[in-house]
Amino acid sequence: MKNRKLLMIPGPIEFTPDVLRAMGMPTTSHVAQNFIEVFGQVLEDLRKVFLAPSGQPFVVPGSGTLAMDMAAANLVEPGDRALVVNTGYFSDRFAKILERYGAAVTHVHAQAVGDAPSVNEVESALQSIKPKLMTITHVDTSTAVATNVKDLAALGRKYGALVIVDGVCATAGEEMRQDEWGIDLALTASQKALGVPPGLAVVVAGPRVMQAFSTRTKLVGNFYADWTEWLPIMQAYEGRKPSYFATPAVNLMWALHVSLKGILAEGMEVRFARHKKLSDAFKAAVSALNLKQVPTRPENCATTLSGVYYPQGVDKGILKYIDEAGVIVAGGLHPAIREQYFRVGHMGAVTGSDVIATVAAIESGLSRSGYIFEKGVGVVAAQRHLL
């Protein structure tokens, strides 16, 4: 980390040197045989990372918002009912996208910022409106709240809803088992725990979703997002054949190929456990410093990032002090509490040393902000947990 600051925001994240080298390779043709092989391998590897052997992957140039748009555009027809399990800013965004395509949206809101709707509340809504689809934000980047995807997905299946999981700030860091848990579609973006610079929208659609898409009665209302155009491209590349609809992000695909190989070499079980350990270490430091987290309950805390309230007498000016100590963290995002908290990402290539450096920088910022605490207590707590 010499001569530059450590990037500890919830995306983009720190990237490994081999991923960055892949980004800097000479750009090849998108129909060159070596690129076709890489694209095909990426699609196969995504099934392993999502734990979705029955899934159909789509990798399209764009952001996580495009991945959300793709899910809505291809599955929603005007008048379809949708249920949004709402835990924050990005749940609201998904609702707006669904409404844009004509869905009648019902929200099940958390009781307060930092909370998540209960399983019973969601079941009551499913019974009442019988939606075509239900969206779940696995980790809302605005609140650091994680939802109980496993139980909610089972509920959605029970009531016949297509289960759509926004895993932008979760997939490849937070435990998710797409096929086993009955998730019909999971989506993410490259710049989070997948460990690739921004620019790729990633969707893995299960058989029930693809069946629903094949029986829709109206044209998809978004030309660029339409699976009618993209599915033959994905099938061709996986079959190791050239094809074209829109130019793929060639260097990003090379980088994703490298990153997925690293993820699978680590192993998904080990990776889930590593992220949990890093998260627990950081949160132990937060607790030792007598700081309060945004999630209201321990079981709602994400493993990929943390949301931390400023202590009394400290405001967002601390972010500048943390930056001057060599670490970049993110300010608040949720409109209701934007000025009251900051966010720290700890996913992907982040190490225990990065967590320790981040806690030390936060301690420096707290000290310069006039907060009274025992110096080093956060660092010691994180170290103790890591060891």
Tokens of 7: 């990037």
- For the segment 18-24, the average pLDDT, to the nearest whole number, is 97
pLDDT, one tens digit per residue, over 38-79 is 999 999 999 999 999 999 999 999 999 999 999 999 999 999
Which CATH number applies to 17-266: 3.30.470.10, 2.40.10.120, 3.40.640.10, 3.40.50.2300?
Answer: 3.40.640.10
> 254: Cβ–Cβ under 8 A, 6 or more apart, which residues?
22, 23, 25, 35, 38
Answering whether pTM is above 0.95, one says yes
> 167: Cβ–Cβ under 8 A, 6 or more apart, which residues?
138, 139, 174, 176, 186, 187, 188
pLDDT averaged over every residue in the chain: 97
Nearest CA-CA partner of 342 in 301, 271, 386, 293: 293
DSSP assignment string, 101-168 = TT-EEEEEE-SSTT----HHHHHHHHHHH--SEEEEESEETTTTEEP-HHHHHHHHHHTT-EEEEE-T
- For the segment 359-364, the average pLDDT, to the nearest whole number, is 98
CATH of domain 6-11+267-386: 3.90.1150.10
- Would you say 259 and 195 are in contact if contact means Cβ atoms under 8 Å apart? yes
Half-sphere exposure of 375 (CA within 13 A, CB side): 5
pLDDT, one tens digit per residue, over 274-289 is 999 999 999 999 999 9
Gap between the Cα atoms of 170 and 189, Å rounded: 10
Gap between the Cα atoms of 50 and 203, Å rounded: 10
Is the backbone peptide bond immediately before 117 cis, with ω within 30 degrees of 0?
Answer: no
Rg (CA), the chain: 21
Give the pLDDT of residue 34.
96
Q: Which is it for strands 81-86 and 104-109: parallel, antiparallel or unpaired?
A: parallel
- Percent of the chain at pLDDT > 70 equals 99
pLDDT range class, residue 4, cuts 50, 70, 90: confident
CA 165 to chain centre: 10
> 212: Cβ–Cβ under 8 A, 6 or more apart, which residues?
75, 132, 162
pLDDT range class, residue 1, cuts 50, 70, 90: very low
pLDDT, one tens digit per residue, over 192-239 is 999 999 999 999 999 999 999 999 999 999 999 999 999 999 999 999
Specify the amino acid at residue 175.
E
Helix (H, G, I), strand (E, B) or coil at 200: strand
Q: Is the pLDDT of residue 155 over 50?
A: yes
Any idea what DSSP says for residue 212?
H
> Which sequence spans correspond to the domains of the chain?
6-11+267-386, 17-266
Give the pLDDT of residue 3.
74
- Would you say 192 and 347 are in contact if contact means Cβ atoms under 8 Å apart? yes
pLDDT, one tens digit per residue, over 70-114 is 999 999 999 999 999 999 999 999 999 999 999 999 999 998 999
Nearest CA-CA partner of 303 in 79, 89, 102, 147: 147
Q: Is the pLDDT of residue 2 over 80?
A: no
CA 158 to chain centre: 25
Q: Is the pLDDT of residue 336 over 50?
A: yes
pLDDT range class, residue 322, cuts 50, 70, 90: very high
pLDDT, one tens digit per residue, over 240-272 is 999 999 999 999 999 999 999 999 999 999 999
- For the segment 139-163, the average pLDDT, to the nearest whole number, is 97
Gap between the Cα atoms of 236 and 196, Å rounded: 24
Gap between the Cα atoms of 244 and 236, Å rounded: 9
